[in-house]
Amino acid sequence: MMLRLLRTHGSGSRLRALAGLLVLALVAAPLAGCSMFSKDDDYIPDDPADKLYNQGLFLLNQKQDYEGAAKKFDEVDRQNPYSDWARKALLMSAYSYYQAKKYEDCVNAAKRYVTLHPGSPDAAYAQYLIGASYYDQIQDVNHDQARADKAVGALSEVLRKYPDSEYAIQAKKKIEMARDQLAGKEMEIGRFYMKRRDFTGAINRFKVVVTQFQTTREVEEALARLTEAYLSLGIVDEAQTAAAVLGHNFPDSPWYKDAYGLMKSAGVEPNENKDSWISRAFKKLGLG
């Protein structure tokens, strides 16, 4: 059951190995009366580390009591700090809090793990949990996108520090979706400015999408809106460039059809100015 649970939630081979400690702990149970971590004969922990750890595994696997499991793992760390049991329990605590949707607690535990054990093979998963916790809290574009920004930052660390880990692909997918959210927020604000006929304010928002999020699905609309906004301001050269870049990179886009229609109604054709910031932005990424 534990191994099936871990596979279901994509926790990877490292966490499956941790589950194997249940067997080791049961073998070691007769030795629980002897202190493994202290030479002081007068020190008696509240509960042996292996007992607490196994209780956490039981609650996690058999009961799906994720908060209860996390608290058992936290006790391992509290009562037996700096032990190998504490290291493993800290990661399991982060995982349990994540399953319980206690994202702040998950982030705190996972950050502590990465700080204390940066060279551990499981550090990649701990870093991934940080990003996934932020990602799972992303709301629609009508709300603040601070968590999307934090998700991108934390998940990018997975790619930077652990590019060959089994979590890199999942992290990359989540980054792409979080960036779509960030771009969507910029578009929402830009459209708001367009309705108010604040074309300069709108252009500034669409420019963010074109320069920072041009691999997202929002960039086609951003270029079309730039065409509209620049035409409204009488800056025809930039409008022509926006339409031309849109047509060159997304010729089948319905947004290009709209932009081309605007060009025709203004009596001009799409025409790229190579010195335009729009053209330079796309050439920098290799799309132009």
What is the predicted pLDDT for the residue at 47? 76
Contact 174, 135 (CB under 8 A): yes
d(CA 288, CA 167): 32
Structural domain includes residue 224: yes
Structural domain includes residue 188: yes
* pLDDT tens per residue, range 26-48: 333 343 443 444 444 444 456 79
* pLDDT tens per residue, range 134-190: 999 999 998 999 999 999 999 999 999 999 999 999 999 999 999 999 999 999 999
Structural domain includes residue 217: yes
What is the predicted pLDDT for the residue at 82? 86
To which residue do tokens 């509960």 refer? 47
* pLDDT tens per residue, range 201-225: 999 999 999 999 999 999 999 999 9
CATH classification at residue 267: 1.25.40.10
With a CB cutoff of 8 Å and minimum separation 6, the contacts of 59 are 65, 66, 68, 69, 72
Q: State the total domains in the chain.
A: 1
The verdict on pTM exceeding 0.85 is no
Domain limits for position 191? 184-285
Structural domain includes residue 206: yes
